[in-house]
Amino acid sequence: MSLPEIKTILYTTSLSKHTRPVFRQAVKMAELYNAKLVMLHVVEPIGETGQALIQNYLAPELIKNMHDEGLAKVKDNMKDRVKKFYDDEMQDLEVHPDITIEQIVGEGNRSDEIVEVANEIDADMILMGSHNSLGRSSRTTRQVIKYAKRPVMVIPVKG
């Protein structure tokens, strides 16, 4: 029997300042395993109340166009934020590891999207941060742990 190989690590981020230690841990794990690191940020869609309000004032085709254009703009902005976050963090590192980092912006329910992307890229591990309040991890973290079919490493963060 052989030990499992870690070739691809999915690192999830909210891009907040509290997730920087999680990014550093993800980079170190990718370097340690000589693995590809995929950095994922998930944008959640507008809620039902917002949708109901919009549908009362605008035509369906206009809503679809606005959604598509708005989502494209949000994804472009988020990709810029992911790149800036990455550049800032890499600049602060004393040694620049020789690893591949891919950046993805997903859309949907956070936990569902994380599990789905992990399956799509065939990640060997999911690495994510979690606020620990009252002895419990975040709902997203609990859901990913529950539904992922691969190891999940959780790094506690302040915040």
**Count of domains observed in the chain:** 1
CA distances from 28 to 21, 89, 133, 157 (A): 11, 12, 26, 17
Is residue 90 situated within a structural domain? Answer: yes
pLDDT of residue 2: 82
Q: End-to-end alpha-carbon separation of the chain, Å?
A: 42
**How far, rounded to the nearest angstrom, does the alpha carbon of residue 10 sit from its chain's CA centroid?**
8
pLDDT of residue 152: 96
With beta carbons less than 8 A apart as the criterion, state whether 128 and 154 touch.
Answer: yes
Task: Put the strands of the sheet holding 36-43 in their side by side order.
Answer: 101-107, 36-43, 8-12, 125-131, 152-157
Q: Using pLDDT thresholds of 50, 70 and 90, give the confidence band for residue 53.
A: low
Interval 7-48: pLDDT, tens: 999 999 887 777 888 888 998 899 999 999 998 988 877 666
Interval 91-133: pLDDT, tens: 777 777 778 888 888 888 999 999 999 999 999 999 998 876 6
pLDDT of residue 36: 95
- Ramachandran assignment for 145, one of left (phi > 0), alpha (psi -120 to 50 degrees), beta (any other): alpha
The residue type at 6: I
Is residue 82 situated within a structural domain? Answer: yes
Is residue 133 situated within a structural domain? Answer: yes
Is residue 1 situated within a structural domain? Answer: no
Is residue 65 situated within a structural domain? Answer: yes
With beta carbons less than 8 A apart as the criterion, state whether 129 and 13 touch.
Answer: yes
Which residue has better confidence, 150 or 19?
A: 150
In angstroms, rounded to a whole number, what is the distance separating the alpha carbons of residues 6 and 33? 6
Domain assignment of residue 81, given as a range: 8-157
Is residue 108 situated within a structural domain? Answer: yes
- What is the CATH number for 54? 3.40.50.620
Is residue 126 situated within a structural domain? Answer: yes
Q: Which residue has the tokens 């999830």?
A: 12
Is residue 2 situated within a structural domain? Answer: no
**At residue 136, does pLDDT exceed 70?**
no
